[in-house]
Structure 1
């Protein structure tokens, strides 16, 4: 605390000097005997008890931070949401209107600048009253009220339910308050004490401190308050609930005028100013800043995700309760990875393709990650963030993330997993130009698939025979890995998986962050159909896996936090980019041109490539979940459209005025991705550059010059490699 510089040092009252002379022990005895014990004598046991009590009490205020709202902001500084239990914005003394300072001193402690923390005259008056009547009367100064509010703040932070509220104080509470008040007066100037009080005290609702109160009640800053407005706020302090301008306008106005009379009596305003002020109507705003993610203006689902990240992070406290208290009271500024411009573009693209609640539970989402860092740039969906789950188009469910982070059970990923089978093939020494026998479309019950992480080294096709079909005809033949991937046919993918160890495939998927949304567990090799996307995943899983391909094999854990600081300038540790090389760069260079060809054919129109991009479509069996996950060198974006309330097919559904008999990833997910990514590409920091190329043997440009999907003119060369040998079917 600053050294004492109070202008009142030379004007201490004679009674005040006497109290100092007698000492705090005598003062404590007087309090015990007279102030808090109506009808008691002023001598004897009271003084002895007071002296003993005083020795056990602290003489310094608890060093606890004052509750200040926290805020979540985007990487570019745009506010997403505030969090607070006590809405408070501390301001310097010179940013508070003089009329506000005069009003609070006049009504709460008119001798504030002449006492030493305890008002001897007021104390004597209260003692006489309490000695001669059955009612107790207090004599708290502004300094004592400041001390009391600081004690309450400390108790809240420490989880102490026994608050020292006015009218409910024990003798020890009052003695502690007075002892601390006198100590505070030795350590702080009067202006510092008054500034601290005005920044601390409750005015109304959850508006703590004069700046928050001025904004809440009048919609203006504390420095701009007029006399009648200052008097209104000063009057509300005595009873924040009782003197409420909306619920009790007459009582509040009467109390305001009482404050104005006190200001006039203390020569803080002139008669003319008083006459003008009492004539003013009680015009108020009464609008508090919203709190929490439900009240966020944008990015509500991302806000929810960030809040959950903070509450799960030990850096912000030893348990969830303490982390929540820090978020609500710690004055944190949480700067996130979100780009507000991209988020706006994503929301526009979603709204343009899948208007909220146009049909029966059709959802849509876009999630963007930055290659090389894992920073989450966009997290958007077409629903309204709301606790009213029973209302159409409203949900608190975050489509983009796993259940543990506020999502649901995820959505079947379909053919978006096929590239990871191809990448495992290459990891095991194969090439994309290798061929497999894709004519096999039936795997009977009992068929063994190699799985070294399972007992016996294999898993068995259980239940019924696994019959596999392709959407495109004519490809049940000996087929190249890259051709099967390009045309997204199933039999080559399963044939490749049959030649591989399923545990190698799931191991790679786990390394790339692919996991089940419902429980965040790795994909299991026990059911071979996982290679065709039978498992349900959140867009976050697919986005981070493709993000590694975009970064030439560098896998980065998604992150949402860039920096967290508090009002004192303290920094809290947040995760740095957590990246590791998972894929071989040569393998990425082989597969990226195939994924780029898929994008050129299925997403871009008329072979007009607006920017270099690569990716993969995906559709589950009953067309209730559709995808396009694509990337440039600057952004990886997972685009999903499907049912989120049921598994009913989208085939035949009318969305955005268009009815489609079939529903694939190219129908809406792809165009939505393109619309958004074209807008992102307009921003210089996300303008797409060149993607990796492969110098070895590869396919020619797919789909050009009327080439049939399985024509020989498709290849520069036709190389037949056996690859890893499969287990044969059981008898």
Structure 2
């Protein structure tokens, strides 16, 4: 005799029911003993994982004051307790999914047998699973096995082995966990649509409310969605969602948790979802506020380098308080956008602010006229142009800081030393042979004295004097000084700002800058790719008495339970003596008074004691102002960032063009500094620039 298709399912359910009745903890035969023994060993371990493993939660990234700036997550979930869920929501889910929830154990044997009998008769299939079993299934799929597709498929397989395992875990949970906690656990773990998991996130996403305030129509819609989140999505399938919602409302009337009159009123109500689609926040730093995106991304990368995994950050439910100062960041953002609009074609204006210190260098702001995003038409970029060596044209004469520091350290020059400074001169490159052309340099202007003191040279920036000094000091010392003061990442990239490619026959691409520039005197004129953040940190190193610390974007990290989480960071280093650092700051203190940015400072009404060094590349594709005031170390860079780089021209706004002499660091990169820091400082008394150390006033060798 030929068996109907439903008979194997009936026999399987009966065998499973028999096993459960006989005792779940020690499975017996009933024709399925071998099957039971195959899964018995795994049940206890999975049950423990179900109770103890942590659900993926949303990590919040905040500024130093605790104001959220971004969220990181894999599953958008806002967990709630049983008493934070409205009675309507509880009644709706129980009415449609498991009417005997509060009376049964973890498994409803009667329901399973009834489902088997119904299915074997050829009617529509009935699952027969309790809310506890559904909790188990969803927990396994969405939490325990969320990163293993094969295991997720096994968690959903229509097999007796899977059902037996699921039922046994459900019984164990029913014996150890309260009904209210099982119900809230299920409502916290179940998927609605997309990345929305749990009733807390669903209430917010679909109705802009919290789960304790869900009304009957709202609760019924959500309860209906768990059966098939895609089919009953109110935005993509509103008719099906309405029909399903009304089925849930009818079930609530049937279970007498809702009167017929109230049920009719609820069914007559509109879906009531938010009009513009579910309100789900971005899951990455790309959704940050405009002045926070680059710092957020840097903070995320910093934590990964410190030992966190990306999965931990996306699922750990951490509160990451960054060092971002919202007042500083807003002021800087306003200043760069006033200088170069966000959508200005081909021109980027980056700005970084670092707080110096002996034990840490906190990053207070990382902004640009560009925003961190994926739409170039809106002036967005997905590259962290503040942290990365994104200014491939270089920071111009601001690199003379490294040559000066190396000269002070080696004794080749002091702050008052007179440097040869012809209008133009050709130099023999280090390591040159008979085929190596000389490196010829001219000063940009004719009014430079010859000779010129190092102090005056730092203010007025003659090229010839500094290339001459660099040659005397030697490239190894200059490059090592640049690394020590802060160019740790930049010097590890090649001359295109990328990771060196050993397979390239061209040293420009195969070698790191620390090697490539060993024989190139052009380094002091700043024609190599550089990180704007690292240049701000160079200033912070000098302002910290010669102490380098990695730019730190993390104030604190706490886990989902409010416990502090340690963040590993490299130790700070005393890279130059305090006397040298103070002397160099003193030498740089004339730039805004009588130097290359003095005219812009006067125009801005700038009157604070500060230090600075401007930079301009040869074709004006990049200009920079590197300096500091009070306890703020800064870097403002304006550079060509489009596919067709050209000369940067001053104006309102700054733009690409062909304007003769083009932009300068003092005329284009310094004004955002004056505008932003004037707002930040307000009427605060000035912090004096350190006095020069007599040791470093004159040459010693």
Name the TM-score, length of structure 2 as normaliser. Answer: 0.86
In structure 2, the CA distance between the partners of 1:106 and 1:697, relative to structure 1 (3 Å rule), is: closer
Task: Indicate conservation of the 8 Å contact 2:59/2:315, yes or no.
Answer: yes
Aligned-residue offset at 1:605 = 0.9
- What is the match of residue 376 of structure 1? 363
d(CA) in 1 for partners of 2:229 and 2:101?
22
Superposed CA offset, 1:538-582 (max 9, x none): 212211112111122111111222222331345443235732221
Q: CA deviation at 1:498?
A: 2.5
Find out whether 1:552 has 2:545 as its counterpart: yes
Contact 1:264-1:271 at 8 Å conserved across structures: yes
Q: Which runs of 5+ in 2 are unaligned?
A: 1-15, 500-511
Q: Does structure 2 retain, via aligned residues, the 8 Å contact 1:157–1:325?
A: no
**Residue 400 (structure 1) aligned to one of 370, 374, 386:** 386
Structure 2 equivalent of residue 539 of structure 1: 532
Report the counterpart of residue 328 of structure 1 in structure 2.
314
Do the aligned partners of 2:604 and 2:675 also contact (CA within 8 Å) in 1? no
Paired with 2:368 and 2:468, the residues of 1 have a C-alpha distance of 36
Q: Is the 8 A contact 1:559 1:577 kept in 2?
A: no
Aligned length: 648
1:264: how far off? Answer: 1.4
The correspondence of residues 296-445 of structure 1 with structure 2, limited to 5 A, is 296-298=288-290, 299-313=292-306, 315-316=307-308, 323-358=309-344, 360-372=345-357, 373-389=360-376, 391=377, 393-402=379-388, 408=390, 410-429=392-411, 430-439=413-422, 441-443=424-426
2:279 alignment partner, SS class: coil
Q: Which residue of 2 aligns with 1:295?
A: 287
Identify if the C-alpha distance between structure 1 residues 639 and 495 changes in structure 2 by more than 3 Å, giving closer, same or farther: same
**1:24 equivalent in alignment to 2:24:** yes
Contact 1:461 1:527 in 2 (8 A): no
Shift in Å, 1:186 = 0.7
CA root-mean-square deviation: 3.0
Relative to 1, partners in 2 of residues 1:366 and 1:507: Cα closer, same or farther, differing over 3 Å? Answer: same
Segment drifting more, 108-117 vs 607-616: 607-616
CA distance in 1, matches of 2:165, 2:150: 18
Q: Which residue of 2 aligns with 1:213?
A: 202
State the SS of the aligned residue for 1:356.
coil
Aligned counterparts of 1:434 and 1:221: Cα–Cα separation in 2: 70
Q: Matched residue of 1:375: which SS?
A: strand
- What is residue 470 of structure 1 aligned with on the other side? 443
1:684-695 aligned within 5 A: 688-694=686-692
- Secondary structure of the structure 1 residue equivalent to 2:482: helix
Q: Which moved more, 1:129-138 or 1:481-490?
A: 129-138
* Largest Rg, 1 or 2: 1
Which residue of 95, 109, 123 maps to 2:98? 109
Q: Counterparts of 1:652 and 1:676 in 2: how far apart (Å)?
A: 19
* 1:614 counterpart SS class: strand
Q: Any conservation in 2 of the 1:628–1:669 contact (CA below 8 Å)? A: yes
User: Which residue of 2 is the match for residue 589 of structure 1?
Assistant: 582
Contact 2:63 2:323 in 1 (8 A): yes
Map 1:517-666; keep pairs closer than 5 Å.
518-519=497-498, 521-523=512-514, 524-569=517-562, 571-576=564-569, 578-601=571-594, 602-603=597-598, 604-605=601-602, 610-645=607-642, 646-651=644-649, 655=653, 661-662=660-661, 663-666=663-666
> Is the 1:440–1:476 contact (alpha carbons within 8 Å) kept by the matching residues of 2?
no
Distance 1:606 1:362 in 2: 23
Return closer, same or farther for 1:28/1:193 CA change in 2, 3 Å cut-off: farther
Out of 84, 87, 108, which is 1:119 matched to?
108
Structure 1 position 522, deviation (Å):
4.7
Which SS does the other structure have where 1:71 is aligned?
Answer: strand
User: What TM-score comes out, normalization by structure 1 length?
Assistant: 0.82
In the alignment, which residue of structure 2 is the partner of 1:224? 213
User: How far 1:324 moved relative to its partner?
Assistant: 2.8
- CA distance in 1 between counterparts of 2:627 and 2:387 reads 18
Match 2:233 to one of 234, 244, 253: 244
Query: Structure 1 residue 697: deviation in Å?
Result: 9.9
Deviation at 1:519, TM superposition (A): 3.9
SS at match of 1:591: helix
1:364 match: secondary structure:
strand
Instruction: Rate the CA distance shift 1:70–1:477 in 2: closer, same or farther, 3 A.
Output: same
Structure 2 CA distance, aligned partners of 1:302 and 1:167? 41
Structure 1 position 49, deviation (Å): 3.6
Kindly indicate whether the alpha-carbon contact (under 8 Å) linking 1:402 and 1:410 is maintained by their aligned counterparts in 2: no
**Within 1, Cα distance between the matches of 2:604 and 2:266?**
74
**TM-superposed deviation, 1:475:** 2.9
Rate the CA distance shift 1:205–1:683 in 2: closer, same or farther, 3 A: farther
Deviation at 1:375, TM superposition (A): 1.4
